[in-house]
Amino acid sequence: MAVHDTIGDFLTIIRNASMARKASCSAQHSKMRVAIASILKDEGFITDFAESQDAKGFKTLTVSLKYVDDTPAITGIERHSTPGRRLYYGVREIPRVLGGLGVAILTTSKGVMRARDARENGVGGELVCKVW
């Protein structure tokens, strides 16, 4: 079966590994996934991520999950805009996650960025996911 929502699958891999208390998880490599992992690392939701190759030579992305007192740092992660329903927001309409405790990730004309950075740069875009 063909994979249609690669970002949704990536977020599900992270969510399931976090709930199962895994130390790390891996997924196929893409520029969008690397950008999302970079934002998650900057915000302190994961400890690190690394790019590598599997036995067949395909690039993979390995994400090291973060735990605080045996509790996952990622309490919730959800896909917001899907391939069947794209959700775009203007700079004044970008939603806040838990009153600023979480982070929203957008893809804009200036690249993938946090909602806070998009507001500062004065750009709107597609809301990819919310993490808290």
> What gap in Å lies between CA 46 and CA 40, rounded to an integer?
6
- Burial of 120 (C-beta count, 10 Å sphere; 0-12/13-18/19+): exposed
Q: Is the pLDDT of residue 2 over 60?
A: no
End-to-end Cα separation, the chain, in angstroms? 31
Same domain, yes or no, for 11 and 68? yes
Same domain, yes or no, for 125 and 82? yes
pLDDT tens string 5-56 = 999 999 999 999 999 999 999 999 999 999 999 999 999 999 999 999 999 9
Same domain, yes or no, for 36 and 67? yes
> What gap in Å lies between CA 44 and CA 38, rounded to an integer?
10
Q: Is 126 within the bounds of a domain?
A: yes
Q: Is 1 within the bounds of a domain?
A: no
User: Are the C-beta atoms of 101 and 85 separated by less than 8 Å?
Assistant: no
- State which of 72, 100, 123 marks the end of a domain: 72
Q: Is 21 within the bounds of a domain?
A: yes
Q: Domain span at residue 11?
A: 6-72
pTM summary value: 0.93
Same domain, yes or no, for 13 and 63? yes
> What gap in Å lies between CA 39 and CA 63, rounded to an integer?
12
pLDDT tens string 57-111 = 999 999 999 999 999 999 999 999 999 999 999 999 999 999 989 999 999 999 9
**What is the predicted pLDDT for the residue at 4?**
85
Same domain, yes or no, for 62 and 13? yes
